[in-house]
Amino acid sequence: MSTVASNTDAPNTDIGRAPDVQAMVDHLFRTRAGQMVATLTRILGFEHIDLAEDVVQEALLTALRRWPFHGVPDNPAAWLVQVARNRALDQLRRRTTWRGKEDDVRQSLAALAEGVEADGPARAGFEHELRDDQLRMIFACCHPALTPDSQVALTLKTVGAFSTREIARAFICSPTTVAQRLVRAKRKLRKLGVRLEIPGPDELQGRLDTALEVAYLMFNEGYSATEGEALVRQDLCAGAIRLVELLADAPATDFPRVHALAALLLFQGARLAARTRGDGIPARIHEQDRSQWDRTLITRGVRRLRGAGRGTSLTRYHLEAEIAAVHCLAPSAGETDWEQILDCYDRLYRLHPSPVVALNRAIAIAEVHGPGEALSTIETLVAEQTLVDYPLLWSTRAELLDRLGHGEQAARDLARAQSLGASQPAQRFLEMRAAEVLAHRTTPPADEPDS
């Protein structure tokens, strides 16, 4: 997990004495850092984006060092803005390139501090301005002069407050590669003199698709963390939902596919509290306590799904949102309409024929036609070698083999899934399932058990 706390130079005793402070700063890091960087970059110019990132990081580190001893200020966000503002002014005073701009920048930074401290309508207006700055930053990072990978990486870094290591996991590459990619992307945007603004209609659609991919990646990392002590990282999921709803509610980006992705993330987010058991081990969907599902988020998801139905466009977000809706709206696991889910996966695979979609489709096949037919699909994926390093391929095959009575082979697949790396809760789940299937290894194989 990467939060500002992971990089702090504060003594460990600080954190131990005030765990709530660390949680609060982590939350501010995820919810406010991107906004602060975007607004400071607008004021200072994109050529100073590194400075904006540095002073925001320094402000958060300062909070971690001071708040445990001096108390949390009444308005933590305003305190952070003030510290970041002062650090930025100190840095800029040493730069000759700033001469002639000092008064304008100082006035803009003063207005920034006043806006954060305001109340009532002034505060609401300022929050709207912050959201607009974040929207502008999203589209700057998604500039068509950058490669798609660089667009996604830069947006995750500046807007989503992802660390280089988290981005590397998302791209399945090294942190060094990501760091170099980020440096090149910023250098190119500086050279182009990019400004933080909403692009015109000709450029908007392409940049929007990249922004949606960023939100999708961010949510996926939070929904099933690839490493660490927690399976679910609600801060990342909440950040992804905020980002995509920001896009859905902005007049310039009020498109059906944006609402479709918002619906998908809301439906998935509604089940987060039930995704783990009391011991932190993952709970499969048929094991989840549905009373823990967030009905408010489900209602919002239904509303967004209606917005996605405008027009005739059909995207993978539409179909994935429909699948998530079927799960969320089923009265019980046994009443899930798996035939509708399989139909959605059939259409999704025709639209977006990826091996991951094929893997998920196999799960639906198992529920509709039985594990034997689903296993044939999985064996095709194994033969293609595309997902051999993907733990879910082996854990899914293990579940099907177990249902067919092949416990020892299922246990070997679960061990292979575990060897490929996962979060600690996922590792414990795989260990638990391996023990269970080995306990059932004396069960005679069934040619075609009931689905």
Q: Which of 49-58, 75-84, 300-309, 341-350 has the lowest mean pLDDT?
A: 75-84
pLDDT score recorded for residue 234: 78
> Is the model's pLDDT at 19 over the cut of 50?
yes
> Is the model's pLDDT at 199 over the cut of 70?
yes
| CB contact burial 196-229 (16+ within 10 A = b; e otherwise) | bebbeeeebeebbbbbbbbbbbbbbbbbbbeeee
> Is the model's pLDDT at 125 over the cut of 50?
no
pLDDT score recorded for residue 448: 43
State the average pLDDT over residues 245-255.
90
pLDDT score recorded for residue 10: 34
Is 403 inside any structural domain? yes
Which residues, including other chains, have CB under 8 Å from residue 172's CB and lie 6 or more apart?
none
pLDDT score recorded for residue 357: 95
More confident position, 75 or 360 = 360
Q: How many helices (H) and strands (E) does the chain have?
A: 20, 0
> Is the model's pLDDT at 9 over the cut of 60?
no
Residue 17 pLDDT grade (very low, low, confident, very high; cuts 50, 70, 90): very low
Closest CA to 294 of 333, 321, 265: 265
Is 421 inside any structural domain? yes
> Is the model's pLDDT at 306 over the cut of 80?
yes
Q: How far apart are the first and last CA of the chain?
A: 38
Q: Which of 48-52, 55-59, 160-164, 328-332 has the lowest mean pLDDT?
A: 160-164
pLDDT score recorded for residue 242: 87
Q: Which of 196-210, 332-346, 420-434 has the lowest mean pLDDT?
A: 420-434
More confident position, 365 or 64 = 365
Is 440 inside any structural domain? yes
Is 279 inside any structural domain? no
Is 365 inside any structural domain? yes
Provide the CA 114 distance to its chain's centre, in angstroms.
31
* Stretch (H or E) spanning 445: none
Do residues 197 and 136 make contact, with C-beta atoms less than 8 angstroms apart?
A: yes
Residue 81 pLDDT grade (very low, low, confident, very high; cuts 50, 70, 90): confident
Q: Which of 118-122, 268-272, 345-349, 413-417 has the lowest mean pLDDT?
A: 118-122
Residue 248 pLDDT grade (very low, low, confident, very high; cuts 50, 70, 90): very high
Cβ-count burial of 129 within 10 angstroms (0-12 exposed, 13-18 middle, 19+ buried)? middle
Is 303 inside any structural domain? no
pTM value is 0.75
CATH code where residue 390 lies: 1.25.40.10
Q: What is the largest CA-CA distance in the chain?
A: 83
More confident position, 309 or 98 = 309
Residue 276 main-chain phi, psi, to 5 deg = -125, 155
Residue 446 pLDDT grade (very low, low, confident, very high; cuts 50, 70, 90): very low
pLDDT score recorded for residue 94: 72
Residue 230 pLDDT grade (very low, low, confident, very high; cuts 50, 70, 90): low
Do residues 51 and 44 make contact, with C-beta atoms less than 8 angstroms apart?
A: yes
Do residues 380 and 392 make contact, with C-beta atoms less than 8 angstroms apart?
A: no
Is 364 inside any structural domain? yes
- Domain boundaries, position 405: 354-451
Is 386 inside any structural domain? yes
- Name the percent of the chain in helix, strand, coil, to the closest 5: 75, 0, 25
Q: How many domains does the chain divide into?
A: 1
More confident position, 444 or 373 = 373
